[in-house]
Amino acid sequence: MAARYTYQCSVVNGGCGKVGRVGEPVDRLIAELVLEEQREKAAARGVPVEQQWPREAELESVMADIGQLLEAERAKQITVSTLLQLLPTKERERDELKLERARFYKQQKQAEAQKAAAGLSLGEFLDLPIERQQEVVLHSLAAVMIHPAGRGARKFDPRLIKPVWR
């Protein structure tokens, strides 16, 4: 039976262009490894993910302070020079809090995706749309290294396939 697709070392990305593998066994192996890793992480975590970012009130307070400073300058209660002295600190604090909040929700989304993937069988995973499969795999892997097997037709050897975990 001929291979439906193959993976080839990418010359465009600095590779040799010579190493290639039949795609199906590689995909199956990577799916098994990723699902196992997701199950281990879900079992180790065991603690429910907090739904609300705990510093939301602090961010709202800083945003209100910025608004009050701007309003005070508009109402001529403070000078522009005073505003320029006070505003950068508050804006920096706001930006740091927003970045922290974004990281919190990103980690929460990743944890939820890992939890959902942990419950999938290999067959269910392979039945997912390819975009969803890629999303699950990219939460776990940065890359997959495929080492040369030598010339000619070779039997699939999973020892030559090394995942690079995140």
Mean pLDDT by 10 residues, the chain (166 residues): 78 84 91 88 62 92 96 95 95 96 87 75 89 86 86 82 91
Q: Around Cβ 86, how many Cβ atoms within 10 Å?
A: 16
Q: Around Cβ 84, how many Cβ atoms within 10 Å?
A: 10
Q: Around Cβ 34, how many Cβ atoms within 10 Å?
A: 23
What pLDDT is recorded for position 14?
A: 84
The C-alpha atoms of residue 166 and residue 91 are separated, in whole angstroms, by 32
At 50 the three-state DSSP class reads coil
CB 18, CB 149: distance < 8 Å: no
User: Which are the contacts of 83, defined by CB distance < 8 A and separation ≥ 6?
Assistant: 69, 70, 72, 73
The C-alpha atoms of residue 64 and residue 82 are separated, in whole angstroms, by 17
pTM (2 decimals)?
0.58
What pLDDT is recorded for position 49?
A: 53
What pLDDT is recorded for position 48?
A: 54
Q: Residue 29 to residues 38, 151, 152, 159: CA-CA distances in angstroms? A: 14, 22, 22, 10
The C-alpha atoms of residue 130 and residue 24 are separated, in whole angstroms, by 13
The C-alpha atoms of residue 80 and residue 42 are separated, in whole angstroms, by 53
C-alpha closest to that of 149 among 54, 13, 31, 26: 26
